[in-house]
Structures are given as structure tokens and as C-alpha cells.
Structure 1
């Protein structure tokens, strides 16, 4: 399939779910898409970051925009969306993967949305990707060993962590010992966790304002992926009754809410405070800002759902988004293994009370094979929502990176997610419904889940 055929295929697919006026108003025929990267500058407000040494310093957010293009000047998209990434990687890796399915269809979610006439903005939040990193640029800010049970420390410095899975200890030795630390522990230049939900809510609100200005639209949609879910939830809470003035749709994709994976397939229920000040001391105990992870992606789905070459493309794109981390790790500085740098943080501002206060139509999407953020989170988000227009779609045979997954019997989760989002942004519906609980099975069939009754087959992809 050549490039022109792919464009025709994409445009034909989206016209089937979009209102006609999106593409035809004022003869604004869509011709394609374009990608743009730009920077938003700001000054860090005093008291925003846990380490106040960064207060008043200049910082930048990198924003990755994928926009529709039109045959005539003056034409513009009728819808816009901000896509908020999770805890480890910047926006363009999670939303604009430059790879295709085995049938040469694009995997990029931003690309699919842009071909549907939606102008998309995927920022790297502070501490991520190509945005300002502050203390994360210093390898000495990776974690030191743990304190002993009696509170003593066997080396020149020790650390504490609120979660040894999310933010492991002793990463100076396990990740950086030879390259770049040269076999010695280093003292931190910043001695607290990097951020909290309010840090990134500020970023998102800046991007919302910028998207309004760049598109000329009074409203945008918000999408929160993984740990981006709590960040979107926090923004909606901060905006309160004014949220509906500038936001018209909300989408949560594989989003965290109140359930973490536990040992041996178990689940751990957690309750997050609405405000940072109300978190228990242990939640604010992490004493280092930098955490490191290996280049990689999928949480072990069936191999027939991962497009050939996609993990390698994912790792390559992640490496390009972190040129400093790409030079760290391994025993040979001339051939580093490469690492992904991300911030440590506390989590607050997203719970049942916050969800219940949302007044904007909300779509919740989650894969039932998600090992990183259990699908229970999606069910609990949906149950907590009180807005009349709310839809939950569970997708079987889909993992945490379901936006890039295919399937043997149909196009797969990547296409279902894109279509569901396009439909929701355009009409606040899924399969013509504006409320309800649905499941897409491994063959691409859509079922409505009705309490106390048999599941009802609606349609198929």
C-alpha cells in the first residue's frame, strides 16, 4: 500500500464516524497532516516544586503537535485535544509512534486523530522528554542505598522511597556505577522528590491556554494516559465549575485511579488524598529526584499482538527524547546501554470525590490484560462518575500499550481506541450510545454489559 493509498484509507475511515461538516464547512477539504515541535517558556512559581531552589528559574515545555492540513488557507480543525503522558516517558513516544502495522497502516494515535480533523498537542511535562529537567540532569541525584532498620547508613549517604517498585533505591550502583559515576557514590544536589500533581497540572493548564490560542477554539478535549489520568483529574478539580468553559470532552486511557498491581497477580487498593498537604508522611518521604529505567515498552502481551519491530521503534524514539540518558549505563562509555530518566513524585488530587464532580462527558478505555495499571481502575472511575454522558470500554487482548497493539483476527486495539476517541470527541458517543459499559472481545466484536442480564452483541470491527 503506497502513501496515497494510506491517506485515502485513513480519510475514508474517519469520514464514516465524523459529522460531515467537520470536513466540508467552507470547502475545507483536508489534504493531510503535519507535525510540529515547539517550546512554551515559563518561570517556575515559588512554592510549586518540592525543591524550592528552582523557584523563579526559567523553564520550557516541549509540545509535539500533529495537525490536519487543508486545501485552502484560513481553514482550521474544528476540534483540538491535549494528550497527557504517564510517569516515565514524554508525550510523543506514547502518542505518535513512528511505526506501522504488518499491513502498513500507521500506529500513531496522534496521526489517526489528525486525519480525523482533530488538532492534537502532546506535551512533555516538566522533568520529561525534551522539556526542562532541572535536577534530573545530574546523575548524582539517582538513588543511594537504603537506611538500615536501625536508621544507620553504611555509606556516605542513604535514601528513602515511598515505593521501591516505582522508585527503586541504590540506582547509583545498579544503573550508573561505571557510567557515568566511575565507581563511587555521589551526594545529591537535590534531596527531595522532584514533583507532585500540582507541578504537572500547572503545565497542562499552560498547554490548554496555548492550544486555545493556536487553534482559535474555545474548548479542547483532555486525554490522560496511565499516570496522566491523575494529572488530568487534578486539572479538572482545580478548574472546578469553570472546567466546562474550556474543556468539552475527557478521556481516560489505561489510567491510574485507586488500584495498583500487587504480588502474584493480586491488586492493592489505595486512596489518594485530594490535596498534597493531606498525604501521610510516608507518601512524601522519597529523598531523591531521579529514577531510571531501561529502554523498553510492552508489559508482556501475546507476541501476535505486538507489530514486528514496534518495540525497537518505541525504544529508539524514547532514546531520541532523552539524549542525556542515552549516554548513561553499561560498562563502556563508548557504547552505553542507554537509560530513561524520569522524576520521582507524590500522587494526589484524583479520587472518587474528584471524579464525582466532573461535569464533562467522559470516556474511559482500558485493556483487560494491562499488568501495569489493572483494569479495576477503569471500572472504579466509571462507577465514581456522576456525569450523565459516561462510557466505559474494556478491550480484551489489550495491554498497557494497547494504543499500539494489533490482533490476528481484526485491526486490533490500536484502531478501536482511535475510533472510540474520534467518535467521543465528535459526538460524545460510542457505538451510538452516550452512556454504558461495553467490551470489545478478542475478535473485535462489541458487547454491551448490562447488569443482571446477558451481554448484548452490538457490532463488530
Structure 2
């Protein structure tokens, strides 16, 4: 990983450091884009968090750029630019590591996240109501303000479990929007706008595109929508802890191939736009606990505080004492169509897949399945032991840890289209940081 000492300027376009910038991209919501069309024609904005290199001459620019897409709960800067350190006082930020390596990085908050426009998510009445009873017709509801359905990952009854004291004061409220907030088409539009902006700001013709967690399907959808133009716009693809076709089930892992387009059943599966998350500890590993040093001290607290600072409305919600909120992270509900084998087989640019072996949110089987599905020749899958879903911030007792392995792998891939000197193959990085080739 590049350090500040390695970027002392010796010539006009040598790097001097990095710079963080936040700005807004404004747009008008197209008709029939969002599931709730009441927002069509409304003005909206995306907040973009940029971390890029600086140079001795202000006219110099980076030769490479990357757009990083976050997952289902928090926005770009929290997912990729955590302001915290390892026990050895190294920065945990992925964007910072990439910027010191000369890559200009752009991490948006997609619509419904962070400091981007939230629309119906600003209204606590749009959190979930109790579910329908188990009557045979599945439609019976005794609650006078309504009942909800959900596709599973978005909990029911959050008006009661999370908002009863702050801000609802013990009452239940009828929704002002009664559908899921977004689908992959909504966020593909956002991502394409950010790509165009990144190209304009850097003067480059192409950018690398990274999808983290549920950002992976959104990146896959962008490739699909760009069609024949995709290779002219995207230089590399990176899938980090991403979903593909495997989800955890109660009795193990279940494969679940997504539809290419949103089905009628999916359109009606979730009847509320707002889901809420509480502060929690560092994500747990699946299958093992023998990974000392994985959680950087204080990182969970720093993660929540950085996220809640970008959610001033959610900061006033939650808790069981009136007027003493504990803070809740607001996020949108969605359908997850547009990322499957059909689309993966059409990818034509070098593709890097990184996944934690102990990921308890999305199984590491996704990395293997995606690698096996890809037809592009330059493809690498790397599984990291003692790494979880937040492996871009994981550390270790005997080496710098998964966070450095993730950054180093991405830098080598974007710079040389290789990992560990190889342009294709499957690899494991063990708990001591040693890279091994898989058969």
C-alpha cells in the first residue's frame, strides 16, 4: 500500500498527497423510474464523496479513476472512507489507499442514502407496520392504519419496535408511500450519472467500477444497461463482498438466481419504503471465531458515528426515552433484479472478485459461482480467511490484515490487470496474509 513517504514530489506531475471533496449532482426524477411514481419530475441530488491524488502542478490529473458503489444500509463515504485507524495507526480508508496509489475515487450516496435525496424515507410513517395475519387469504388486517408485506430482509413492525417512542410517541401512522423505494434501474441511473461526472472531472474516457455487497447487483445492472457501450466506458470491474446467486438460509446456503427484470410478484412483495438499522458491533464471522485482532478497536463506534452524522433525521429517532433518541440509520427497501448469469457472461473487461471466507451476510460461495460464470479471460477471485463482510476495514494480529490485502489487490488489478502477478485464477489469502493458488 502506498504511503505518504512514497509520494514526495520530484517532478511537475509527481503526487504530493490526497484531497477529499464532497459535492452534489442534481437531476430530475424521470417518469416511471421509481416504483412510487409520485416522485416523477421532482428535483433530487446525489452527494458524491471524492478522494483523489494531488500533484505539484495543479494542472496534472490522475491517470486512473474509480467509482465505488455501496451496499444496502449506508452510503459511499462510510463504506469506503472510514475515518479510523488500525492499532498500528495506519488509515483504514480504502479510498485513501487508492488515492495514494494515484487512483481518483468517487463514492456516491445513491438515491435514498446518506446526504442524497431521501424522499419518502424522511417520513417515519413509511417505516413498516405489523404484518398481515395468517388468514388463508393473506389479506386480513385488524390494524386500522394498515398492515405490510415484506420480501424477508426488511423487518416488519418497525414503527413499533424502533419508532414507538421517538418520533411516533406510541402511535402508528399510515404510509404516504406504499411500495418499495427503489429497484436496480433507479440506482443504475444514479451510477451512470456519477460515471459521466467522474469522466468529465478527470478527463478520462473510462473508469473502473466497484460494487460492494448489494452494490454488486447495481454494478451488474449498469453493465447490462450500457450494452455495447459498456467496454468503452468501464475499464475494470471489481466485486467486493458482493451478492451473485447465493444467500444464507436457516439450514445453510441457498442459491437464488435473480430475474433479469423486476417481476410482478417482486413489485408487490414489499409494501413500505423505509427500513431502519440500529447501532451494532463489528460484523460476526460465519463458521469460525478464531481470528484474533480482526476488529480494530473502536471501529464499530466510529462506523456508526460517521454514518449517523450523514443522517440528521435518523439521528433524532429511536430509543425508549422520550426526547432522548439513540439514532437509527435509515435505508430504502428495494428489489434486487438485473444481476445474474446471463448478465455476468456478457462482461468483457478484466474482473476482480474479493470475498471474506467468514462473510456472514453474503456467502463466499458467491465469489466462486461468479468466477465460474464469467467468460472474460482476465478474471481473478480472491477469498480471504478471517475476513467478514466489512473486510475492507478488517485487521489481523499477525499482519496488517484483510483491509490491506483488499487495497493492494485492487491497486494491482487497476494498474496491471493482475493479482499476485497473474491475470486469471482463484486464490486464497490465509489468516497470516500468505497468498495461495487454488486448484
Match of residue 160 from structure 1? 148
For 1:303 and 1:56, locate their aligned partners in 2 and report how far apart those are by CA, in whole Å. Answer: 52
1:144 to 129, 132, 139: 129
Match of residue 190 from structure 2? 203
Offset at 1:6? 5.7
For 1:331 and 1:296, locate their aligned partners in 2 and report how far apart those are by CA, in whole Å. Answer: 17
Which consecutive aligned stretches of 4+ in structure 1 deviate over 4 angstroms post-superposition? none
1:55-454 aligned at under 5 Å gives the runs 55-150=40-135, 151-164=139-152, 166-264=153-251, 266-276=252-262, 279=263, 281-282=265-266, 284-296=268-280, 298-301=282-285, 302=291, 304-450=293-439
The RMSD of aligned alpha carbons is: 1.5
Offset at 1:29? 1.2
Contact 2:231/2:349 (<8 A) preserved: yes
- Distance change (3 Å), C-alpha of 1:53 and 1:241: same
For 2:301 and 2:124, locate their aligned partners in 1 and report how far apart those are by CA, in whole Å. Answer: 26
For 2:390 and 2:98, locate their aligned partners in 1 and report how far apart those are by CA, in whole Å. Answer: 17
Offset at 1:72? 1.1
Pick the structure with more helix per residue: 1
Between 196-205 and 153-162, the greater mean CA deviation after superposition: 153-162
Does 2:34 align with 1:45? no
Offset at 1:162? 3.6
Q: What TM-score do you get using the length of structure 1 for normalisation?
A: 0.91
Q: Counterpart of 1:442 in 2: which secondary structure?
A: coil
Number of aligned residues? 430
For 1:354 and 1:235, locate their aligned partners in 2 and report how far apart those are by CA, in whole Å. Answer: 10
Contact 1:261/1:268 (<8 A) preserved: yes
Cα shift readout 1:307-344 (whole Å, capped 9, x = no counterpart): 11111111110111111101101122432111000001
Match of residue 27 from structure 1? 12
For 1:290 and 1:36, locate their aligned partners in 2 and report how far apart those are by CA, in whole Å. Answer: 29
Offset at 1:296? 3.1
Contact 1:79/1:117 (<8 A) preserved: yes
Match of residue 288 from structure 2? none
Cα shift readout 1:257-304 (whole Å, capped 9, x = no counterpart): 11111115x11211211112xx25156321100000102353224452
Contact 1:295/1:318 (<8 A) preserved: no
Offset at 1:11? 4.5
For 1:78 and 1:367, locate their aligned partners in 2 and report how far apart those are by CA, in whole Å. Answer: 30
Q: What TM-score do you get using the length of structure 2 for normalisation?
A: 0.95
Cα shift readout 1:70-115 (whole Å, capped 9, x = no counterpart): 1112111000000000011000001000011111010000000000
Gapped runs of 5+ residues in structure 1? 13-22, 451-461
Contact 2:150/2:156 (<8 A) preserved: no
Contact 2:292/2:397 (<8 A) preserved: no
Q: Counterpart of 1:82 in 2: which secondary structure?
A: strand
- Distance change (3 Å), C-alpha of 1:36 and 1:431: same
Q: Counterpart of 1:304 in 2: which secondary structure?
A: coil
For 2:221 and 2:379, locate their aligned partners in 1 and report how far apart those are by CA, in whole Å. Answer: 19
For 2:162 and 2:191, locate their aligned partners in 1 and report how far apart those are by CA, in whole Å. Answer: 31
Q: Counterpart of 1:176 in 2: which secondary structure?
A: coil
Contact 2:7/2:14 (<8 A) preserved: no
For 1:181 and 1:189, locate their aligned partners in 2 and report how far apart those are by CA, in whole Å. Answer: 15
Q: Counterpart of 1:366 in 2: which secondary structure?
A: strand
Contact 2:295/2:394 (<8 A) preserved: yes
For 1:378 and 1:190, locate their aligned partners in 2 and report how far apart those are by CA, in whole Å. Answer: 36
